[in-house]
Amino acid sequence: MEDLRSLLYRLKEQHTLTKEEWTALIAGRTPKLARELFSLARQEQQRWYSHDIYIRGLIEFTNYCRNDCLYCGIRRSNKNAARYRLSQEEILSCCRAGYDLGFRTFVLQGGEDSYFTDERMIDLIQAIKSRYPDCAVTLSIGERSRESYQAFFDAGADRYLLRHETFNGEHYSRLHPPSLSAARRQQCLWDLKDIGYQVGTGFMVGSPFQTPEHLAEDLLFIEKLQPHMVGIGPFIPHHDTPFATEPAGTLELTLFMLGLLRLLLPKVLLPATTALGTISPDGREQGVLAGANVVMPNLSPTSVRAKYLLYDNKIAVDAEAAEGRELLERQMTAIGYRVVTARGDSRMTDI
Ligand code: 5AD
């Protein structure tokens, strides 16, 4: 096979590699190769998005969840999780605070909570869109029927985030209960795309049992799906889950995967995630320098933040939204980027 360095240059030109080539790059990576990758990734990031960093206000509106994913701290069988759900008024006041801080996208994220029926979700989406017509509403509420997705879209939802978690079916089944499947997850993503959402998918890096081949399959799936956004972050163990003693994914591999994603889909929206900021104090800055161009600070009320714990040691559980926004501004300015007030749509479809 070609040397790994020339694979990188071919990836930058052709935006595709075979499974064997992806695997070789991931398994054979070195610090030197990573530096070269990040510099190519930044060229693409800046070509499409300049030095702009888009922000999304994350509202974690319920931590009730009917699922029992083995890695997740709000899994159903975690009896130690203190459950909460926000009222519509509380959610709207998060939006108000966020709007005043310059957020033009609100991400409604929650566990799969049956309290939030289609009717309640539609009501909520319409309430936000009528007050903030210049803002995008992003949903991140897991698997629903195609009909529900359509109804939310018709109510005004613009985007939907649903990580595929891992493409490989066998690997998927080692991370999830038998009631969930990789195939069903992927079908949801195809439905969302078909309906017309701007779609975000993604996966955890360094999840238990993950191999470089699995990551290669994730990249092939992403190439096929052509999502508008790809959210990736390191797996981080949560003490009340079956994976409590599993090792966390590394900053190093997560950054490498961010760089590869930027070359695979140059115009994609790539968040430097909270999990990345959690495993390293400058994780989000390093993420941006590896090709990321989005950050999603928390707008949830401080009273509930410490309850939305998917993993241990999550950052900013006691910071006010305004503090988080200011810190981010400083962090991004320090590395030569700027936080912008804009909806921050992907450039996937505009050229
Ligand atoms: N570590 C890292 N990421 C996690 N997620 C859930 N649990 C963990 C964990 N322990 C991620 C999943 C999910 C997203 C909302 O959070 O990928 O899709």
Model confidence at 194, pLDDT cuts 50, 70, 90, reads very high
Section 94-101 average pLDDT: 97
Tokens of 132: 């903030």
Ligand 1 center to 328 CA (angstroms): 22
Whole-number Å distance between alpha carbons of 17 and 7: 8
pLDDT at 350: 59
User: Is the CB of 92 within 6 Å of ligand 1?
Assistant: no
Over residues 121-164, the pLDDT tens digits come to 999 999 999 999 999 999 999 999 999 999 999 999 999 999 99
Question: How many other C-beta atoms lie within 10 A of the C-beta of residue 146?
Answer: 14
Residue 323: predicted pLDDT: 85
pLDDT tens-place string over residues 152-185: 999 999 999 999 999 999 999 999 999 999 999 9
* Cβ contact 279:62 at 8 Å: no
Helix (H, G, I), strand (E, B) or coil at 348: coil
**What's the 351 CA to ligand 1 centre distance in angstroms?**
33
Structure tokens at 152: 């939310």
Ligand 1 pocket check for 165: Cβ under 6 Å: yes
Q: Whole-prediction pTM value?
A: 0.98
What are the residues whose beta carbons fall under 8 Å from the beta carbon of 214, sequence distance 6 or more?
166, 167, 168, 171
- CA separation for the pair 57, 97 (Å, rounded): 10
| Tens digits of residue pLDDT in 54-87 | 999 999 999 999 999 999 999 999 999 999 999 9
Give burial (CB, 10 Å; 0-12/13-18/19+) of 60.
Answer: buried
Asked whether residue 351 carries a pLDDT value surpassing 60, the answer given is no
**Is 233 a pocket residue for ligand 1 (Cβ < 6 Å)?**
yes
Beta carbons within 8 Å of 63's beta carbon, 6+ residues apart: 74, 81, 83, 84, 85, 110, 111, 304, 307, 308
Neighbour-count burial for 105-127, b at 16+ CB within 10 Å, e otherwise: bbbbbbbbbeebeeeebbebbeb
- Mutational test site, ligand 1, from 71, 139, 253, 254, max ligand atoms within 8 Å of CB: 71
Tell me how far the alpha carbon of residue 116 lies from the centroid of ligand 1, in angstroms: 21
